[in-house]
Structure 1
């Protein structure tokens, strides 16, 4: 049944918090009986452009999975929303001569309108500028800092605004990002905050070995941090 719902495209991709997992087809149905509660989230798109067909594909796939678990009688929390923080969003707001928050408000409405346009069943629409989201993020930060999992250090990086990612020399072609060749690579040297992921290395590796969830990319985590 699951295979039919997903158009035969298994293993299925799950977005769970910040981590993306692959579920093996033979193990997929085991998840359904593990809990009567089911949580799924899409990635949160940046509001620097109109909604597009690529993102529509992701949220429709997530909607299929959410409806499947709801059909099993589970309590489903299906999260969707918008990421409204980032340099390229700020730049787009300036280009349109708008206050950044006003700009974000306009584009967030366009993404939330997908619920009707695509007949989606998400239960929560979270904006990263929502007051309750800001409070939750601050509390999470304080908890991590209190327990010594956040630290400062100086670093230098090459940065692509379009990707919003650090780039190594091996990722550049003639000094340009191959995905955004019209944008200049920026170089930053600054003191910044880092999360000490290495503190969780052993626990995470044991979790992956014990559970049926597996990381999609072997290099997704940097345990040297």
Structure 2
């Protein structure tokens, strides 16, 4: 049976790159880039990408009637969040003082200016942009075949702070250590962009498409 994947389109994601990457790793899948909540409900797997500002993302998700469908999908089927798709899982974001979906307890905060420096004192720029290592915090099927410390591509100024650090599955250092991936039940979400992360990113997407949580 063909797997149906819904890539949620709420007007804020790098949808073409994400869709092309999924098509590359799983050409037999039926891929729907969709803003229709019915498609999200019917899909076997759901991917929630996102770029831009959190307030805009949450407003557009609501305006398209996708909020309830995305929350429900996060309770019942393999669900992959990318960038803002990770951040929106949490209760609250400092960016725009906006509420998230509240699926995971915690908040989204900006990199602290005073701590954005290397040990030698060199200042680090915000946003955090470029390749960086992800330290795997425990085994998970989506890490299969990906070396601990593999490099992924990041573009962000805010990061998640879970109330329960037990859901942190990946950690990265940029001035400070921060949660760069979380996992709980059927949810896996990452701050980096697997669709822009060469072989490691494609392997993560392959693992997601074969994941049976």
TM-score category (smaller protein): under 0.3
Length-normalised TM-score, structure 2:
0.27
The structure with higher relative contact order (CA 8 Å, sep 6+) is 2
**Structure with greater Cα Rg:** 1
TM-score of the two chains, using structure 1 as the length reference: 0.26
The structure with the largest strand share of the pair is 2
